[in-house]
Amino acid sequence: MKYYKVHIDKDRERHFHNKLRLYIPHRQWSLPSTFNTYEEWYTNGQIFISGKGLCSISNIVDSNYQRYEQCAEIIEQCEEEYRQGAMESHEDA
């Protein structure tokens, strides 16, 4: 899945905001007024999911992340190798 990634060390709030937007069910997505930051909501929040009951936000996000990002590192590595190869062949021309 392609999306804008923010490294946690560069901007913690945007990092958690992006993760939550991607991996929380859309109808459930909005920062509750009981939390001041997306990181706090990710760490301590819960939402009700039909058929499952009250679920931890971090568990939902982490589970969905693993489900959709299983091969992300391999794909990124292949893209980088392709770009390197394309640049080398362009330089040879």
- Total number of domains constituting the chain: 1
Instruction: Please indicate, yes or no, if residue 59 is contained in any of the structural domains.
Output: yes
Burial of 2 from C-beta contacts in 10 A (0-12 / 13-18 / 19+): exposed
- Per-residue model confidence (pLDDT) at position 43: 93
Instruction: Please indicate, yes or no, if residue 40 is contained in any of the structural domains.
Output: yes
Instruction: Please indicate, yes or no, if residue 2 is contained in any of the structural domains.
Output: no
- Per-residue model confidence (pLDDT) at position 40: 94
Instruction: Please indicate, yes or no, if residue 16 is contained in any of the structural domains.
Output: yes
Instruction: Please indicate, yes or no, if residue 61 is contained in any of the structural domains.
Output: yes
- Per-residue model confidence (pLDDT) at position 87: 62
Q: pLDDT 10s digit of each residue in the chain, 93 long?
A: 556 677 788 888 888 888 888 878 766 667 788 999 989 999 999 988 889 899 999 998 888 888 877 777 777 788 788 878 766 665 655
CA distance 18 to 36: 16
- Per-residue model confidence (pLDDT) at position 23: 79
Q: 18 lies in which domain range?
A: 12-92
